[in-house]
Structure 1
């Protein structure tokens, strides 16, 4: 999945465009906050993401996890093993959706800066930096 092309085709080209309300609007997703849990559903071919009222960081991370489901998966999970597979895919893709590589300068990979600029936790930003290093430079362990 080429996140840059997907985002650009929906008018999301810079960090300022990447807030959850704007992304939901650009992709025609109904977004509701203050819901008892984080969930994505589809009703009458309309994608709906409902988020708990948390701090902006955890709400952003939950949004991009659910958004990954919108982009990658259908509405129905056929079996428990398929549901687990979909959750794994969404967990991996949410990092790229929340901190797209085309929006960052690889020479300045500072997790605190990424956390602040992209409204994610520092732990989330560190995980994304690890992904970027592996993708660009191979396993750097």
Structure 2
């Protein structure tokens, strides 16, 4: 049995409400339009902010398409899940929010429900390259996300075996 985390369920619901059910439909411009988030490109580092309760994401225009997609998902986490201005936060709370946004980024760029549909069986460079292309992410990003996905599956199998042995 495969259990989904709260974050995995949140992302699945977020995407399926917009009709985004396959990797080919993952597009930050479509997501921002459907979410009412204004996206701008500029020459500074990517960031998210609110002005008059309107969310904005500013993406670094010098980044590759893959990096912009990854940055968009990181900033999307701040828009959807966080409150407050990080400038006024304690360093530890800011670090906590950044950690959560990075975790969200990996799951939003390569959602578990989409990975599950691919019937993945290995972590070879060929598989990682295919995922990199399919999800429009960098190679190292795809490798890390695939590793996360497999690690969770392994842990769930171990947990299920322990539960069967207890009965």
Deviation at 1:37, TM superposition (A): 1.4
Q: Is the 8 A contact 1:64 1:97 kept in 2?
A: yes
The answer for the alignment partner of 1:25 in structure 2 is 33
Deviation at 1:108, TM superposition (A): 5.4
Counterparts in 2 of 1:89 and 1:57: CA distance versus 1, 3 Å? same
Deviation at 1:120, TM superposition (A): 0.6
Residue 124 in structure 1 maps to residue 158 in structure 2: no
Residue 136 in structure 1 maps to residue 147 in structure 2: no
> Number of aligned pairs?
139
Q: What are the Cα deviations for residues 43-79 of structure 1, in whole angstroms up to 9, with x where unaligned? A: 1111100011111011111111111112221133332
Residue 83 in structure 1 maps to residue 94 in structure 2: yes
CA distance in 1, matches of 2:104, 2:153: 16
> RMSD of the alignment, in Å?
1.6
Give secondary structure in 2 for the equivalent of 1:107. coil
Write 1 or 2 for the structure with the bigger share of helix. 2
Q: TM-score, normalised by structure 2?
A: 0.77
CA distance in 2, matches of 1:108, 1:42: 42
Which of 41, 46, 57 is the aligned partner of 1:38? Answer: 46
The answer for the alignment partner of 2:79 in structure 1 is 70
Q: TM-score, normalised by structure 1?
A: 0.90
Counterparts in 2 of 1:127 and 1:50: CA distance versus 1, 3 Å? same
Give secondary structure in 1 for the equivalent of 2:60. coil
The answer for the alignment partner of 1:49 in structure 2 is 57
Q: Which runs of 5+ in 1 are unaligned?
A: none
Say which structure, 1 or 2, has more relative contact order (CA 8 Å, 6+ apart).
2
Poorly superposed stretches of 4+, deviation over 6 Å? none
Highest CA radius of gyration, 1 or 2? 2
